[in-house]
Structure 1
Amino acid sequence: MNPMEFIESLDPQILVGASVAFVVIVVAAFLFSSKKPKGCLDPQNFKDFKLVKRTQLSHNVAKFRFELPTSTSILGLPIGQHISCRGKDGQGEEVIKPYTPTTLDSDVGYFELVIKMYPQGRMSHHFREMRVGDHLAVKGPKGRFKYEPGQGRAFGMLAGGSGITPMFQVARAILENPKDKTRVHLIYANVTYEDILLKDELDGLARTYPDRFQIYYVLNQPPEVWDGGVGFVSKEMIQTHLPAPGPDIQILRCGPPPMNKAMAAHLESLEYAPHMQFQF
């Protein structure tokens, strides 16, 4: 019996069932292929990523763009988590330090780090010496922070210096998700105006999402004309610019150790319970 005769001899119900099964398989294959691509990170082993662009933002701050394997690849970093970067200090000794990319998985084909390079910083030396074409060893994801869209009514954020990077990543993820209605209130402290990282990007978020994102800058040494906070972040600033304690709010903090310690004391005195707080 040839193939056509065999098919014609089959019960029509069997043919219909086979057709439906075929369609289901095709649809499932399409859905599987259109799912979010797998991330490029390895939590156990360092992987090398090539530097394809370096943009100097100030005398000691630069933005580094690293290429992913393909133009549609994603890093695969959960919101609010970080990566470990490996390099060599001025003495040629290995150093590993955590950093949070300023990009999200919606930025396909690359990831970016905004790095402030300190004179005595060991990993700062490595980034200072990096040139386009060099590779950075990266491992991850790392971190305890977990975020689900809409998990709270509002976030309050307390950031100092380079501690802005995880806050920026979380804020972007929230604000750029049309289904997420969470509000974000950020206090960002620095020494001088020139120390403010990602200011253009932060101001852009404030303009684009005025009803959901508010930012209050605080400077220890402000310029002559300045409409932000002055000195160190105080309890009064927190009361004025961050959401009040409640079951549906969370306060995130990330900054130098002295600032983190001071903010923890302020938050405790203002009756923010431990479960309402998270420190990166």
Structure 2
Amino acid sequence: MDNLQSHKKEMVGIAVAVAAIGVGTAYYLYLSKNTKSKRCLDPETFKEFKLVERTELSHNVAKFRFALPTPDSVLGLPIGQHMSCRGKDAKGEDVMKAYTPTTLDSDVGYFELVIKMYPQGRMSHHFREMREGDYLSVKGPKGRFKYQPGKVRAFGMIAGGTGITPMFQVARAILENSSDKTKVHLIYANVTYDDILLKEELDSFAHKFPDQFSIYYVLNEPPKEWSGGVGFVSAKMIQDHCPEPASDIQMLRCGPPPMNKAMAAHLESLGYTSQMQFQF
């Protein structure tokens, strides 16, 4: 009798899990289907989008909001993918760079980019000079990352500097879908405290979804009062703050080339196979 009841409970649990995955996938497909006709991006042709709001976040970081053609238009960028932005450098020459918006296709009528403008950056010059009313040339989507709810049990994310944007987009898509139970463990590295992008939003995720989202900040030059990681992201930090190697987890990484190379070596040493890793 006990065995029969145990079997029934197990079958109910499996049914609930399957239903949850089904609902999550249905939500994803529904969103894709209902936005298909209104998508604005073109993978072959650059399109112009008007800057309607520029918000300075720090001395070298700003948030740029661009209007889409209609109030119910969506950008049409799959979760975790990026787009090419074209502009002019300080010499007036054409320059292109890939960026990931912080918005999703659930944000209709506009999209936003959080941009860090480096002194010698060619595309940084274009954004530094942009004013409300100017237009940005955009083409896409691009990228190999394809996400669907329930794709993995958990993500381990390692981001450096502006590499936070694709991680932020993926995390936000997961957390805003109540049917998606994927866990997110994020390590985010920067040089100084002021370099941390989207900190308010990331901290809000951790506060609202404590059982699903965790973040560990690492600073190379931390302030005196600092409880996070210090120096560079180490194998020990990954071991302590990310899911263990398993067939149903995936490690995502995005940062400067030297960091990506170092993280790949750390992950390999910890037993994460190439199938468990993805680099944006």
* Seq. identity, %: 77
- The code of the aligned residue for 1:53 comes to E
How far, CA to CA, are the matches of 2:266 and 2:242 in structure 1? 12
How far, CA to CA, are the matches of 1:237 and 1:83 in structure 2? 31
Contact kept in structure 1, 2:38 and 2:72, CA below 8 Å: no
Aligned match of 1:70 = 70
Q: Which has the larger Rg?
A: 1
TM-score (norm 2): 0.87
Counterpart check, 1:35 vs 2:39:
no
Deviations along 1:95-128, one digit per CA (max 9) or x if unpaired, are: 0000000000001100000000000000000000
Aligned match of 1:251 = 251
Structure 1 counterpart SS, 2:38: coil
Counterpart check, 1:189 vs 2:200:
no
Structure 1 counterpart SS, 2:146: coil
- 1:208 is displaced (CA, Å) by 1.0
How far, CA to CA, are the matches of 1:231 and 1:138 in structure 2? 36
- 1:38 is displaced (CA, Å) by 2.6
1:221-232 equivalence runs, <5 A: 221-232=221-232
Counterpart check, 1:114 vs 2:118:
no
How far, CA to CA, are the matches of 2:257 and 2:191 in structure 1? 15
- 1:181 is displaced (CA, Å) by 0.4
Deviations along 1:210-241, one digit per CA (max 9) or x if unpaired, are: 11000000000000000100000001000000
Aligned match of 1:212 = 212
Deviations along 1:27-59, one digit per CA (max 9) or x if unpaired, are: xxxx9xx93343100000000000000000000
1:1-280 equivalence runs, <5 A: 35-36=34-35, 37-280=37-280
- The code of the aligned residue for 1:149 comes to P
How far, CA to CA, are the matches of 1:71 and 1:200 in structure 2? 27
- The code of the aligned residue for 1:222 comes to P
Aligned match of 2:25 = none
Runs ≥4 in structure 1, deviation > 4 angstroms?
Answer: none
- The code of the aligned residue for 1:188 comes to Y
Structure 1 counterpart SS, 2:115: strand
Structure 2 counterpart SS, 1:152: coil
How far, CA to CA, are the matches of 2:131 and 2:38 in structure 1? 28
Contact kept in structure 1, 2:74 and 2:110, CA below 8 Å: yes
- 1:137 is displaced (CA, Å) by 0.1
**RMSD in angstroms over aligned alpha carbons?**
1.0
Any stretches of 5+ residues in structure 1 without a counterpart? 1-30
- The code of the aligned residue for 2:87 comes to G
Aligned match of 2:9 = none
Deviations along 1:65-90, one digit per CA (max 9) or x if unpaired, are: 00001111100000000010000000
